[in-house]
Amino acid sequence: MNKDIERILHSEEDIKAAVKQIGTQITADYAGKAPLLVGILKGSVVFMADLMREIDLNCDIDFMVAKSYGNAAVSSGNVKIIKDLDTDVTGRDLIIVEDILDSARTLYSVRNYLMQKNPASVKICTLLDKKVERAFDLKADYKCFDIENEFVVGYGLDYAEKYRCLPYVGVLKREVYEK
Ligand code: IMP
Ligand code: MG
| 66 CB neighbour count, 10 Å cutoff | 17
Is 11 in contact with 168 (CB distance < 8 Å)?
yes
Is 148 in contact with 165 (CB distance < 8 Å)?
no
Q: pLDDT truncated to tens, each residue of the chain (179 aa)? A: 899 999 999 999 999 999 999 999 999 999 999 999 999 999 999 999 999 999 999 999 999 998 866 554 444 556 788 999 999 999 999 999 999 999 888 899 899 999 999 999 999 999 999 999 888 889 999 999 999 999 999 999 999 999 999 999 999 999 999 87
| pTM (predicted TM-score) | 0.94
Ligand 1 close to Cβ of residue 169 (< 6 A): no
Taking the domains of the chain in order of start, what are their residue ranges? 13-147
Q: Any catalytic annotation for residue 102?
A: yes
For position 69, what pLDDT does the model report?
65
For position 103, what pLDDT does the model report?
87
Ligand 1 close to Cβ of residue 50 (< 6 A): no
For position 137, what pLDDT does the model report?
86
Cα(102) to centroid(ligand 1), Å: 6
Burial class (CB in 10 A: 0-12, 13-18, 19+), 26: buried
Dist. CA 47–CA 16, nearest whole Å = 10
Ligand in nearest proximity to the CA of 170: 1
For position 92, what pLDDT does the model report?
98
For position 133, what pLDDT does the model report?
87
The CATH architecture assigned to 13-147 reads: 3-Layer(aba) Sandwich (3.40)
**61 Rama class: left (phi>0) / alpha (psi -120 to 50) / beta:** beta
Of 146, 157, 163, 176, best ligand 1 pocket probe by most atoms within 8 Å of the beta carbon? 157
Dist. CA 53–CA 144, nearest whole Å = 16
